[in-house]
Amino acid sequence: MAVTAQLVKELREMTGAGMMDCKKALVETDGDIDKAVEVLREKGLSKAAKKAGRIAAEGLVQIAFSDDHKKAAVIEVNSETDFVAKNPEFVEFVDNLAAKVIDDEPACMNCFMELPYGEEGTVKDALTNKISKIGENMNIRRFERKATEGVVYTGYIHAGGKIGVIVGIKTDAAAAEIETVGKDVAMQVASMSPKFVKEDEVDQDWLASETEIARQQLLNEGKKPELLDRIIPGKIKAILKEVCLVDQKFVKNGDVTVAQYVAEEAKKLGKDMEVVEMVRYEVGEGIEKKEEDFAAEVAAQQAAAAAKK
DSSP for 116-140 reads: B-GGG-BHHHHHHHHHHHHTS-EEE
Q: Would you say 237 and 130 are in contact if contact means Cβ atoms under 8 Å apart?
A: no
Cα–Cα dist 112/120, whole Å: 15
Alpha helices for 66-122 (secondary structure H): 82-85, 88-104, 109-113
Closest CA to 134 of 63, 58, 56: 58
Q: Where are the domains of the chain?
A: 1-52, 58-196+277-282
Which SS3 state, helix, strand or coil, does residue 36 take?
Answer: helix
**pTM (2 d.p.):** 0.75
Contact between 276 and 148 under an 8 Å Cβ cutoff? The reply is yes
Tell me the torsion sign for CA atoms 282, 193, 191, 155. Answer: positive
pLDDT of residue 293: 46
CA distances from 91 to 60, 83, 99, 128, 155 (A): 8, 11, 13, 16, 18
pLDDT, average across residues 2-12 = 84
Which pLDDT score is estimated for 9? Answer: 83
Determine whether domain 1-52 maps to CATH 1.10.8.10: yes
Contact criterion met (CB below 8 Å) for 18 and 45: yes
CA distances from 11 to 19, 210, 290 (A): 9, 20, 15
pLDDT > 70 in the chain, percent: 88
Q: Is the pLDDT of residue 22 over 60?
A: yes
- Residue-wise pLDDT tens digits, 107-145: 999 999 999 999 999 999 999 888 878 877 889 999 999
Taking Cα atoms as reference points, which of 306, 296, 286 lies closest to residue 53?
A: 286
- Straight-line distance from the first to the last Cα atom of the chain, in angstroms, rounded to the nearest whole number: 46
CA dihedral sign of residues 227, 233, 236, 237: negative
- With the C-alpha atoms ordered 197, 200, 206, 207, is the resulting torsion angle positive or negative? positive
CA distance 294 to 299: 9
Does the structure show a pLDDT above 60 at 41? yes
Is the separation of the CB atoms in 69 and 102 below 8 Å? no
Return the pLDDT at 306. 60
Percent of the chain with pLDDT over 90: 65
CATH-assigned architecture of domain 58-196+277-282: 2-Layer Sandwich (3.30)
What integer pLDDT is reported at residue 247 of this predicted model?
Answer: 97
Q: How many residues does the chain have?
A: 309
Return mean pLDDT, the chain. Answer: 88
CB distance 60 to 77 below 8 Å: yes
Give me the DSSP letters along 161-192. TTEEEEEEEEESS-HHHHHHHHHHHHHHHHHH
Task: State residue 53's pLDDT score.
Answer: 36
Q: Once rounded to an integer, what is the mean pLDDT over residues 240-260? A: 96
**Band of residue 8 on the pLDDT scale cut at 50, 70, 90:** confident
pLDDT of residue 167: 98
Q: Please check whether residue 251 is in contact with residue 186, taking contact to mean a CB–CB distance below 8 angstroms.
A: no
Residue 49 has pLDDT above 50, yes or no: no
Could you please report the per-residue DSSP string of 219-265? HHTT--GGGHHHHHHHHHHHHHHHHBGGGSEETTEEEEEHHHHHHHH
Q: What is the pLDDT of residues 91-109, one digit of tens each?
A: 999 999 999 999 999 999 9
